[in-house]
């Protein structure tokens, strides 16, 4: 997504447009893209100085008032049944007839965001380490890996198993056996 055109450039475009200069010449003079200048010239023709600033009303998510009823009922259900997830609550809203039309029904992801925003779904703690942890001494944890169905240099099929120590990285054994 491109950057917003600065207020200084917008004022320059508006003043040059009032002097009768076309969008192509303005874009070359100010080193702006032709599409940006053409769009702003069109906008300034209809609303002049009122439309010169950026329109922040177009940013972010739009609130949908028709879904407010469904959202409040979902929050109520979550309060009554804290172990229910968003999919279950959405189904309950449909089955109970609390939400009558598909336009009023809220998506599962929207319900999840709503519950998180209201503090009704705590963030789960996640650790980057496996539950067993790392080995602190040699021979505490061994890593075992199997290689299957490969061919030896003479063409016979075989398998082998590697057993390595996690702490030291040493190979303890690597037996080869036929299929």
Does residue 137 belong to any structural domain of this protein? no
Does residue 174 belong to any structural domain of this protein? yes
Does residue 127 belong to any structural domain of this protein? no
What is the span of the domain harbouring residue 98?
65-118
Tell me, yes or no, whether 43 and 81 share the same domain: no
Tell me, yes or no, whether 108 and 83 share the same domain: yes
Q: How far, in Å, CA of 45 to CA of 57, rounded?
A: 20
Q: What is the pLDDT along the chain (179 residues), one digit of tens a residue?
A: 567 788 888 889 888 988 989 999 999 999 999 998 998 888 887 776 666 777 667 677 676 666 788 888 889 999 999 999 999 999 888 887 766 677 778 889 999 999 999 988 877 777 666 677 778 889 888 999 998 888 888 888 889 899 999 889 898 888 887 76
Does residue 130 belong to any structural domain of this protein? no
Predicted local distance difference test score (pLDDT) of residue 98 = 63
121 within 8 A of 127, measured Cβ to Cβ? no
Q: Into how many domains does the chain fold?
A: 3
108 within 8 A of 89, measured Cβ to Cβ? no
CATH code assigned at 29: 1.10.10
Does residue 18 belong to any structural domain of this protein? yes
Predicted local distance difference test score (pLDDT) of residue 99 = 61
Tell me, yes or no, whether 54 and 94 share the same domain: no
């Amino acid at each position: 997504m491109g950057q917003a055109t600065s207020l200084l450039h917008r004022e320059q475009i508006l003043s040059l447009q009032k002097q009768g200069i076309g969008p192509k010449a303005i874009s070359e003079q100010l080193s702006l893209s032709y599409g940006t200048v053409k769009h702003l010239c069109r906008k300034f023709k209809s609303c002049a100085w009122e439309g010169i600033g950026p329109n922040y009303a177009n940013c972010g998510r739009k609130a949908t008032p028709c879904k407010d009823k469904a959202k409040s009922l979902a929050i109520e259900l979550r309060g009554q049944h804290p172990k229910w997830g968003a999919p279950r609550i959405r189904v309950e809203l449909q089955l109970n007839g609390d939400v009558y039309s598909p336009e009023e029904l809220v998506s599962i992801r929207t319900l999840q965001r709503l519950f998180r925003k209201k503090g009704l779904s705590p963030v789960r703690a996640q650790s980057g380490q496996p539950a067993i942890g790392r080995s602190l001494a040699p021979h505490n944890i061994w890593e075992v890996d199997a290689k299957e169905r490969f061919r030896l240099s003479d063409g016979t099929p075989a398998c082998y198993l590697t057993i390595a120590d996690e702490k030291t990285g040493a190979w303890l054994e690597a037996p080869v056996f036929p299929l």
